[in-house]
Amino acid sequence: MRDKPYCNAPWLGLYYEGTQGCRPCCEWKGDTFVGNIEEYKKSEYLHKFKKMMYDDKESKFCRECIHNEKIGSRSRRQYYDRWQYCSEEEMPFDKDVKGIYQIIRLDFRAGNKCNMMCRMCGPTSSSLLEEESAKSPNGIEFVQHLDTEDIYSLDLSKCEEISILGGEPSIDLKVRKFMDYVAEKYPKVKCVVTTNGTNASKKWFDTLMKFCDGAGLQIILSIDATGPTQEFQRKSNVRWNVIKKNIERYRLAGENHDGCQVSIQLTCSAINMVTIDKWWDELVNTHIKIDPNQVWWPEGMAVSCIPTDLKNKSIEFLQNWIHNYQTKIVPVGHDDDKTVYSTVETFINILKTTKYTGTKKFIQTQNKYDGYRDENILDLDSRFKVMMNEG
């Protein structure tokens, strides 16, 4: 038994999603407590979670933080580790302490309203996927929709940061209402918003800019590639050329406001890591910092589905690309070249350190969505033929 927990998230964090419930953080890959905030605070689920943090062996469901630390990236666990003690009088990180000690970080997802149907997503995070699945004979027919109005009862006076996701927050009026409330009542709370970049309306930007005069705003654009790969992995009625124009508006917002930072969070999957040679140049030329984030679920979209030969070809492409970049053959004009090197290095580390587990689940996932949508992954790239023929 450890002397202190290996993660402080259960005492300091709250993840609240209208289609799932509550848990300490979004990185946790295990079960979620089904219920509202007050039920969660009193639950045996949270009590057991705290006790688990004292186990000698870390949970396999903490694999995202474990993996990020392994490849040299920052993890959420390291974020919470900054609070060893909340005061000199007490040590609140005790497994028997009830409820949440204080909310340092809130991850809020009001519901699943979304205008995309991403292959690595699910019905609980996309209303369009919920509709698509309900029409299928073997699909999910029901997604719970909790009343999340109790979010307004939280004391956020000690909160450093709120993270807003969806669904797609830019098209959900409930999300905009909560963000306006936080900006007015808790001006010292930083806001981190993850958006798919399909909406850059004035009303949405008016809400975003309220945080620039407070503790700050971080805009994370969920962009996984460009052109056909982006449109295939993140299916939407909004085409890539529209999203590309919106990316430029977000980039300019970051340049023109000292309190606003903009970055791209790229979901590394079995699809975009195989085709990276087709889209990487265009994406890096947006001149926005790119943060890779590996897919763990569904398993049929994970990097572990990529056969070794294909992974090695992507690694070779990246190594050649960074060599050319370093010798100024591919100048992209970044102010800080280190961000480009770091991103490419992370891609390579993800590909090198992810063990190949076969393509059976990849085949199942792609056949499912290809069947729903009358698409064929082989039309995207012929290299997937190898992956679709293996068991």
112 and 19 in a single domain? The answer is no
Residue 124 shares a structural domain with residue 261: yes
Dihedral of the alpha carbons of 75, 80, 82, 83, in degrees to the nearest 10: -170
Domain boundary among 268, 286, 304: 268
Does residue 24 belong to any structural domain of this protein?
yes
Model pTM score: 0.85
The total of other beta-carbon atoms located within 10 Å of residue 374's CB is: 6
120 and 227 share one domain: yes
**Which among 268, 290, 309 is the end of a domain?**
268
Report whether 229 contacts 277 (CB < 8 A): no
Could you check whether the bond before residue 169 is cis, i.e. omega within 30 degrees of 0? Answer: no
- Whether residues 135 and 264 fall in one domain: yes
Domain boundary among 268, 291, 319: 268
According to DSSP, the residues that pair with 266 across neighbouring strands are 292
Q: Is residue 127 part of a domain?
A: yes
Is the Cβ–Cβ distance between 291 and 248 less than 8 Å? Answer: no
Token pair, residue 355, equals: 């063990």
Residues 258 and 209 in one domain: yes
Token pair in block for residue 277: 């040679």
Q: Is residue 378 in a domain?
A: no
pLDDT attached to residue 242: 96
What are the tokens at 126?
């996309």
Q: In the numeric block, which tokens belong to residue 30? A: 């295990």
| 76 shares its domain with 167 | no
- The residue with tokens 């792609």 is 366
- Is 205 found in the same domain as 171? yes
Residues 6+ apart with CB under 8 A from 55: 1, 2
Check whether residue 22 and residue 134 sit in a common domain. no
Q: Is residue 45 domain-resident?
A: yes
- Host H or E run for residue 65: helix 63-70
Residue 263 has φ and ψ, to the nearest 5°, of -145, 165
The answer to whether residues 194 and 220 touch, using CB atoms and an 8 Å cutoff, is yes
Domain count, the chain: 2
For residue 84, the model assigns a pLDDT of: 67
Q: Are residues 198 and 159 in the same domain?
A: yes
388 and 359 Cβ atoms separated by less than 8 Å? yes
Q: Please give the pLDDT value at position 119.
A: 94
Does the CA dihedral 379-383-384-385 come out positive or negative? positive
DSSP 124: T
Asked if residue 191 is part of any domain, the answer here is yes
Residue 163 DSSP SS3: strand
Q: What is the rounded CA–CA span in Å between residue 204 and residue 17? A: 21
Domain carrying residue 135: 105-268
Contact (Cβ atoms closer than 8 angstroms) between residue 219 and residue 262:
yes
On whether residue 239 sits in a domain, the answer given is: yes
The reply to whether 203 and 236 lie within a common domain is yes
State whether 21 and 148 are in the same domain: no
Does 291 fall in a domain?
no
Domain with residue 180: its CATH number is 3.20.20.70
38 closest CA partner among 143, 144, 151: 151
Domain assignment present for 300: no
Nearest 10 degrees: Cα torsion 154, 195, 212, 208 = -80
The parts of the chain modelled with pLDDT lower than 70 are: 84-91, 137-142, 326-338, 390-391
Same-domain pairing of 114 and 65: no
